[in-house]
Amino acid sequence: MVATTPFHDRLSELNDQRLYTHWQGHLSALRYTHAPKHEYFAVRHGVGVFDTSPLYKYRITGPDAERFLSGVLVRDVSDLREGRAAYTLWCDDRGFVMEDGVLFRHGAEDLVLTSARPALAWLTAHRGPLKVGLEDETDAYGILAVQGPRSVRVLGALTAAADHLRRFDLAPTTIAGAEVTVSRTGFTGDLGYELTVPRRNCLDVLDAILEAGRDHQLRPFGEEALDMLRIEAGLPLVDVEWTDSTLAWSDEQRVTPTELGMGWMLRGVREGRRFVGSDAIRRELETGSSRWATTGIVVDWRAWDRLHRDAGLLPTKDEHPLGWESWLRDDSGEQVGYATSVMYSPVLQRHIGIARVRPRLAEPGTGLHLETTVLHRTATVACQTVPLPHFAPQRRSAMP
Residue 191 sits in a domain of what CATH number?
3.30.1360.120
What is the number of structural domains in the chain? 2
**Residue pLDDT, tens place only, 292-322:** 999 999 999 999 999 999 999 999 999 999 9
**pTM of model > 0.85:** yes
Find the angle CA(388)-CA(392)-CA(395) to the nearest 5 degrees.
160
Query: Does residue 299 sit in the same domain as residue 178?
Result: no
pLDDT at 400 over 80: no
Query: Does residue 214 sit in the same domain as residue 346?
Result: no
**Residue pLDDT, tens place only, 114-139:** 999 999 999 999 999 999 999 999 99
Q: Is residue 282 part of a domain?
A: no
Query: Does residue 47 sit in the same domain as residue 143?
Result: yes
CA atoms within 13 A on the CB side of 392: 8
Q: Is residue 49 part of a domain?
A: yes
Q: Is residue 68 part of a domain?
A: no
Query: Does residue 143 sit in the same domain as residue 52?
Result: yes
Query: Does residue 164 sit in the same domain as residue 313?
Result: no
Tell me the sheet residues that pair with 57.
114
**Residue at a domain's end among 165, 189, 221:** 221
Q: Is residue 245 part of a domain?
A: no
**Residue pLDDT, tens place only, 205-244:** 999 999 999 999 999 999 999 999 999 999 999 999 999 9
The 10 Å Cβ neighbour count of residue 109 is: 16
Calpha distance 84→168 (Å, rounded)? 6
Q: Please, are residues 123 and 106 in contact by the beta-carbon 8 Å criterion? A: no
Query: Does residue 42 sit in the same domain as residue 144?
Result: yes
Domain range spanning residue 298? 293-386
pLDDT-based confidence at residue 1 (cuts at 50, 70, 90) = confident
pLDDT at 77 over 90: yes
Domain at 307, CATH number: 2.40.30.110
Q: Is residue 362 part of a domain?
A: yes
Query: Does residue 24 sit in the same domain as residue 148?
Result: yes
What is the pLDDT averaged over residues 189-199? 98
Chain centre to alpha carbon of residue 26: 19
Q: Please, are residues 353 and 345 in contact by the beta-carbon 8 Å criterion? A: no
pLDDT of the residue at 260: 98
Query: Does residue 27 sit in the same domain as residue 165?
Result: yes
